[in-house]
Amino acid sequence: MGHTFSAYFSLTISALGLLLLVGCQNDDGVNLPAEYPPSTFDGSLQWVKSFGGSGIDQAAGVVVSGDGNYMIVGSTYSNDGDLLGLKTTTDADYCLIKMGADGAVLWTRVYGGPEDEIATGITKTSDGGYVLSGYSRSDNCFAGSNGGFHDYYLLKVDAQGNEVWCQNFGYPGSDQAQSIIQTAQGDLLTTGFFDVSASEGQGDEDRSNSGNAHGVGEYWAIKLDAQGAFFWKRFYGGSNNDRCYNAIQTSDGGYILVGSSESEDFDISDSKGTYDYWAVKLDPQGELVWSRSYGGSEIDSAYDIVPTQDGNYLIIGDARSQDQQVSNNYGNADMWLIKISPQGNLIWEKSLGGSQFDSGKALFMMEDGNYFITGSSRSQDGDVANNLGQNDAWSLVVSPDGTLLYETVVGGSQLDFSEAAAQNGNAILVVGNTESNDGDVLQNQGFKDFLIYLIQ
């Protein structure tokens, strides 16, 4: 485990300081501060851990805990190995791990009912607790609380992992929460996708077009208070499959939702191809302000969005296209990084990857002002210096203009994926899943284990 990031670009401290003195401007031409602390991150791999049992175990999200450790959420089908004594069944349950900076497991909690629960994300709340997002087939909260096949399943826990409250939201079809955030006001917004055809238009309360069921699957946003009671539910999309994977709150109190859209009607007016990156801007009450499609004629899917220092936004995902707004394609699919304005206008775009399939799942701004991206890669050329097996977890750092600074692969001879990451001082913890038991992965207890690794 001695490999480090491959360096593609460097700036001396004095040169960086000169650049920062220039400053940035937002869309309104206002100068913004750009003073980043000096970076001591060099991208060296510190350790790799796996966690699980004989079943399918996958990590989906991670945040830094209030005491400087890590909270990792995922799903487990196992009742043996690291899960021995925590559950007796082999259906899927939420799994929450508190892990120290050295990779030691401090405690593990499992939550769920008699059917499958699949966790997709975690957010830290201002009271020191956490809210977990995902979807479930069980009556988790009370008898009859599941509305159909899959429901949004939201679980609030305290700092020790004890359950505070839970909520099911759903109708007869498959409704899957993919993320949850806490707002500046202390409320919550959960987003995912909604089987609107199965609900016959339910799930769109307090809108003038409520009951207008116009698609197979829609973006579904639900605004909640801190105790899990909902304020409003809204869906957005067209006649085909539209799937939301993440959201952020904007400076005006509204939201931007990102994911992919197959539609070209109703809320989608600028379709580019088979599937596009689709961004939806909402006002604070959930009313649609604008929507924008980005991509080309093939399948392009967005997974995460972050604000930038200059008042704009970066979106990461993967693109199979090599036409229209996708100016370059290295292979089967590339990580595709785009920058948009607050009005949704495309500012620039950049492909990252090699000749095989490369995808970006999570993105955040680092403490030094650069951006950390994690996902997966099958390539061993182009921007990817190495390949350890069928598919590797791939993490990289880019500058604010999208220039590749560092990249590394982690994994073994089988399938390895990164799904999320969190920075804690000079360290970044990355989580995902692995089927390997060689290379960087020293142990695999079953079909698929949590993959957890630390870079600094």
Q: How far apart are CA 140 and CA 190, in angstroms?
A: 18
Tell me the percentage of the chain whose pLDDT exceeds 70.
88
Q: How far apart are CA 286 and CA 255, in angstroms?
A: 8
Is the pLDDT at 27 greater than 70? The verdict is no
Q: List, in order, residues 6 or more apart from 111 with CB less than 8 Å away.
A: 93, 94, 96, 117, 132, 155, 157, 163
One-character DSSP codes across 16-29:
HHHHHHH-EE-TT-
Residue 295 lies in domain:
6-455
Q: What is the pLDDT of residue 5?
A: 56
Residue with tokens 């290379």: 439
This prediction has a pTM of 0.91
pLDDT band at 10 (very low <50, low <70, confident <90, very high): very low
- 231: domain CATH number is 2.130.10.10
Q: How far apart are CA 65 and CA 71, in angstroms?
A: 6
Is the pLDDT at 376 greater than 80? The verdict is yes
Tokens of 281: 């801007």
Tokens of 335: 């990580």
Q: Is 430 left (phi over 0), alpha (psi -120 to 50) or beta?
A: beta
* Helix or strand run (H / E) with residue 229: none
Residue with more model confidence, 139 or 12? 139
Exposure string over 354-369, b if 16+ CB within 10 A, otherwise e: bbbbbbbbbbbbbebb
Whether 1 is covered by a domain: the verdict is no
Whether 174 is covered by a domain: the verdict is yes
Q: List, in order, residues 6 or more apart from 198 with CB less than 8 Å away.
A: 148, 149, 171, 172, 173, 174
| Mean pLDDT of the chain, nearest integer | 89
Q: What is the pLDDT of residue 41?
A: 75
Q: Is 369 left (phi over 0), alpha (psi -120 to 50) or beta?
A: left
CA distances from residue 113 to 303, 365, 449 in whole angstroms, order as listed: 28, 36, 21
Is the pLDDT at 432 greater than 70? The verdict is yes
Mean pLDDT score, 367-375: 96
Residue with more model confidence, 88 or 214? 88
Residue 374, Cβ neighbours under 10 Å: how many? Answer: 28
- The amino acid that residue 300 corresponds to is D
Whether 119 is covered by a domain: the verdict is yes
Mean pLDDT score, 239-262: 96
Whether 210 is covered by a domain: the verdict is yes
CA distances from residue 341 to 182, 242, 306, 437 in whole angstroms, order as listed: 23, 22, 12, 44
Q: What is the pLDDT of residue 351?
A: 97
Q: What is the pLDDT of residue 207?
A: 54
Is the pLDDT at 36 greater than 80? The verdict is no
Tens digits of residue pLDDT in 321-366:
999 999 999 989 999 999 999 999 999 999 999 999 999 999 999 9
pLDDT band at 212 (very low <50, low <70, confident <90, very high): low
Q: What is the pLDDT of residue 136?
A: 93
pLDDT band at 42 (very low <50, low <70, confident <90, very high): confident
**254 close to 227: Cβ distance less than 8 angstroms:** no
Tens digits of residue pLDDT in 62-100:
999 999 999 999 999 999 999 999 999 999 999 999 999
**Nearest by Cα to 316 from 394, 262, 380:** 394
Domains in the chain, number: 1
